[in-house]
Structure 1
Amino acid sequence: MTASIHSPDAPILIFDSGIGGLSVLGPIRALLPLAPIVYAADYAAMPYGTKSEAEIAARVPALLGRLVERFRPRIAVIACNTASTIALDHVRAALDIPVVGTVPAIKPAAALSQSRVIGVLGTEATVRQPYVERLARDFAADATILRHGSADLVLAAEAKLRGETPDAAIFADAMAGLTEQPGGDVMDVVVLSCTHFPLVIDELRAAVGRDMHFIDGGEGIARRVAYLTRDQVWPAAASEGRVVFTRLDNAQRHYSAALATYGLGAPQLL
């Protein structure tokens, strides 16, 4: 079903519900500039953060199976915390290529925090997952973990990449969801547990109004992809990446400028 790992043209498949996976693609491009890329966004079901676990567990493996059948990638990256925390094991069981997931960067956040109060900002679906609790127990047992889910922040990031200016109140409300919890006044690290959120990190920093570290998993994912493909052959020159959306209307066509800054072509309908 998959392309040979010895084929230079076998791409890296990057998958997200929307445009958030660009925050993962950027670090991957930095480490592997010659890698062919296929970027896939499931706009027909976006946002994932408001879906049930059963919906995501059924949809994501089936869709990724279809993408792998069509594009024959050498590796797949689920650049979505919600999909990874719910469906990663299902996807790995269904595919015969390496699959790299995206999970909240609680371990590096715990190493960075001085106050021992850490915020986890994600979608509603991600922050309620037992996986987050396990990460906190394994890597930040001595810290207080504050969680907040925001679907509006996902939509704000999408709007920004369409060239729009989101309402500043969206970012203020997202940060207040953490800072107004008990202990939030001394929180010093926020884990951005949705790949959309690094795309609006400047707006989040402005909204919080004080020094705070924001951390995400993009660079760690890129290092993992580079390691898993370390002995493989790439094309001699970089090429424009392919983009496919499961829904393509006028709103999605407005992403072309943002996609081009990441070395991607215009979106096509899957």
Structure 2
Amino acid sequence: MDASSPILLFDSGVGGLTVLAEMRKLLPDAPVIYAADMAGLPYGAKSEAEVAARVAGLLGRMAERYQPRLICIACNTASTIALGMVREVLETPIVGTVPAIKPAAAVTKTGTIGLLGTQATVRQRYVDDLEREFASDKVLLRYGANDLVALGEAKLRGETISVDDVARAASGLVLQPGGENMDTVVLACTHFPLLEPELREAFGQDVTFVHGAAGIARRIAHLVEGQPFTRAEPGLAVTTGDLADFERLASTFAQHGIERLERF
């Protein structure tokens, strides 16, 4: 294993930085390439066929160009739709991101769990399977809040967002029948933890928020355990979208040890 071989974190936007932050705690010396498909954002409003074809195509090209030791699909929508396909076509180890229904079922006291994701994520059979396996004796309320993705992106860019905007985008979850009993919310999109302070204010302090970033980081660390790491140069982030817009995030990426921004 080449010590400079990177871990590739792929997301539709910058929500995957929540995963990178947790990964850095466990693997501070790991070389990283962060790939943001900004030209394809948002995935949540796309069809399953569009997402699968786009993710598989991009990751195939990125694997060839960057030769990563491991790829993390740091996006719930992309993972629930395309994870199996990508694993079939690439030999690189792949870590996916799936809704944290299992830990939510373990902590809920009322037995009512909210699942806040994109529209594409919450309708997937993958989610049905997770509910059946880990929360069959619970009530799982689902809501696709696509507008939260844009709000998370805006917040990272330093734009002003309001609690009212966040509450409005997520209100469809709590307004469902039984929503008043909900005490645990799964943030099933890597963008959504960026908005946790606003969501907490909107939903109330008695609601527990659960997301999978720490668990994903532990899985990555386990798979690369014992491998050598050399960070010979600053980390790299690439975008499929406009580079000038991407460069507005330079200070945010620098906080994670990524100082080079390029267009893919």
Q: Do both share a fold (TM > 0.5)? A: yes
Contact conserved, 2:235 with 2:260, CA < 8 A, in 1?
Answer: no
In 2, the alpha carbon distance for the partners of 1:266 and 1:157 equals 22
Matched, 1:197 2:192: yes
In 1, the alpha carbon distance for the partners of 2:147 and 2:5 equals 36
Superimposed CA distance per residue, residues 66-96 of structure 1 (whole angstroms, 9 cap, x where no aligned partner): 1111111000000000000000001001111
Contact conserved, 1:19 with 1:196, CA < 8 A, in 2?
Answer: yes
Deviation at 1:187, TM superposition (A): 0.5
Aligned AA for 2:106? A
Aligned AA for 1:133? D
In 2, the alpha carbon distance for the partners of 1:258 and 1:77 equals 20
The counterpart of 1:241, out of the listed 211, 232, 235, is: 235
Tell me which residue corresponds to 1:3. none
Deviation at 1:167, TM superposition (A): 3.4
Tell me which residue corresponds to 2:24. 29
Matched, 1:265 2:259: yes
Deviation at 1:151, TM superposition (A): 1.4
- Indicate the SS of the match to 1:109: helix
1:7-156 matched pairs, under 5 angstroms: 7-156=2-151
Aligned AA for 2:257? G
Tell me which residue corresponds to 2:215. 220
Indicate the RMSD between aligned Cα atoms, in angstroms: 1.2
Gaps of 5+ in 2: none
Superimposed CA distance per residue, residues 158-210 of structure 1 (whole angstroms, 9 cap, x where no aligned partner): 00000101233221123321111111112111000000001111111011133
Contact conserved, 1:35 with 1:238, CA < 8 A, in 2?
Answer: no
- Indicate the SS of the match to 2:171: helix
Number of residues of Structure 1 aligned to a counterpart in Structure 2? 264
TM-score when scaled to structure 1? 0.95
In 2, the alpha carbon distance for the partners of 1:238 and 1:157 equals 31
Deviation at 1:238, TM superposition (A): 7.5
In 2, the alpha carbon distance for the partners of 1:241 and 1:124 equals 32
Of the structure 1 ranges 127-136 and 168-177, higher mean CA displacement relative to structure 2 is found in 168-177
Tell me which residue corresponds to 2:172. 177
Contact conserved, 1:152 with 1:170, CA < 8 A, in 2?
Answer: no
The counterpart of 1:186, out of the listed 181, 203, 214, is: 181
Contact conserved, 1:153 with 1:171, CA < 8 A, in 2?
Answer: yes
Deviation at 1:110, TM superposition (A): 0.2
The counterpart of 1:251, out of the listed 215, 226, 245, is: 245
In 1, the alpha carbon distance for the partners of 2:182 and 2:232 equals 42
Deviation at 1:249, TM superposition (A): 4.3
Deviation at 1:239, TM superposition (A): 4.8
Superimposed CA distance per residue, residues 29-56 of structure 1 (whole angstroms, 9 cap, x where no aligned partner): 1100000000000011111011100001
In 1, the alpha carbon distance for the partners of 2:233 and 2:136 equals 45
Contact conserved, 1:34 with 1:238, CA < 8 A, in 2?
Answer: no
TM-score when scaled to structure 2? 0.97
The percentage of counterpart residues that share the same residue type is 54
Contact conserved, 2:234 with 2:260, CA < 8 A, in 1?
Answer: no
Aligned AA for 1:95? L
In 1, the alpha carbon distance for the partners of 2:207 and 2:232 equals 37
